[in-house]
């Protein structure tokens, strides 16, 4: 269980309180500048809140050593620099607890075709897939025990349709195993199909949170995103969102 109690950081996040059970996939949605990346950095322990507390498994995040945290918590940030011109294989081996890539990660991320290329020559989407792989490999032991906390900031940015779907299917499999995933992104349909819980942010605060279908109410979404959001029910279990300007 991850819980936040009245967490604030000046001019970026305002008094966020909420909890995410273990084994859940929580999607953080909201307009640009709403505070999603900042909230992820606070949950990751990379930013210290001005007020309030982040608890992981009932212990304040600042009571974990860096080593202890790195064993089970990983964070794919929106911007990540590659300082050295390594091959993908060399770069990945820095982060992994083992030398080989487990089949389930290769299946979802399909890295093998560019494994031996210099990392600075990858396309945007290929680079994003490598970043996600490095992030997950950092905690691969915890992932396989179902104990990982995985934080992802816009993991689909730059990915084609196939790789977006493969990625969300992987995430669904990881949460089924007990891992907790917190993902910030901008796709209402991915949230509708894959989130257990949605946190909807606006102006640094938590505008709504809870069960996906309840939070993703078209009227509420239209207000938060300042555009027209319509929901189309295709079948009883399947709906799609469409957005347009008024």
Ligand X SMILES: Nc1ncnc2c1ncn2[C@@H]1O[C@H](COP(=O)(O)OP(=O)(O)OP(=O)(O)O)[C@@H](O)[C@H]1O
Q: Which residues bind ligand X (CB under 6 A)?
A: 12, 30, 32-38
The CA-based angle 88-140-36, given to 5 degrees, is: 80
DSSP state of 196: S
Q: How far is the CB of 122 from ligand X (least distance, A)?
A: 22
- Kind of pairing between the strands at 13-20 and 25-29: unpaired
Nearer to ligand X, 34 or 192 (CB): 34
Q: How far is the CB of 163 from ligand X (least distance, A)?
A: 20
Among candidate residues 183, 242, 184, 190, the one with its CA nearest the CA of residue 218: 242
Q: How far is the CB of 41 from ligand X (least distance, A)?
A: 8
Distance between CA atoms of residues 127 and 116, nearest Å: 13
Read off the tokens for 238: 């399947």
Nearer to ligand X, 24 or 36 (CB): 36
Q: How far is the CB of 159 from ligand X (least distance, A)?
A: 16
Q: Which are the contacts of 32, defined by CB distance < 8 A and separation ≥ 6?
A: none
Nearer to ligand X, 31 or 178 (CB): 31
Nearer to ligand X, 143 or 156 (CB): 156
Distance between CA atoms of residues 34 and 231, nearest Å: 23
Q: How far is the CB of 51 from ligand X (least distance, A)?
A: 16
Nearer to ligand X, 87 or 157 (CB): 157
Read off the tokens for 212: 């996906």
């Amino acid at each position: 269980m991850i819980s936040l109690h009245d967490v604030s950081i000046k001019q970026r996040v305002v008094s966020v309180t909420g909890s995410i059970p273990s084994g859940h996939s929580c999607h953080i949605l909201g307009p640009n500048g709403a505070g999603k990346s900042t909230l992820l950095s606070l949950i990751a322990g990379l930013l210290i809140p001005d007020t309030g507390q982040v608890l992981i498994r009932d212990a304040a995040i600042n009571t974990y050593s860096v080593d202890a945290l790195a064993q089970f918590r990983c964070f794919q940030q929106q911007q990540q620099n590659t300082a050295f011109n390594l091959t993908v294989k060399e770069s990945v081996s820095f982060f992994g607890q083992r030398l080989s890539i487990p089949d389930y990660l290769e299946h979802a991320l399909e890295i093998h075709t560019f494994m031996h290329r210099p990392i600075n020559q990858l396309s945007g989407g290929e680079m994003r897939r490598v970043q996600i792989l490095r992030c997950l490999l950092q905690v691969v032991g915890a992932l396989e025990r179902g104990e990982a906390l995985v934080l992802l900031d816009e993991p689909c940015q730059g990915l084609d349709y196939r790789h977006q779907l493969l990625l969300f299917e992987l995430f669904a499999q990881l949460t089924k195993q007990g891992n907790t995933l917190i993902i910030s992104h901008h796709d209402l349909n991915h949230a509708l199909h894959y989130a257990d819980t949605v946190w909807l942010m606006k102006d640094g605060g938590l505008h709504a949170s809870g069960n996906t279908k309840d939070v993703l109410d078209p009227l509420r979404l239209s207000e938060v995103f300042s555009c027209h959001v319509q929901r189309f029910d295709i079948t009883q279990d399947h709906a799609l969102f469409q957005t347009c300007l008024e």
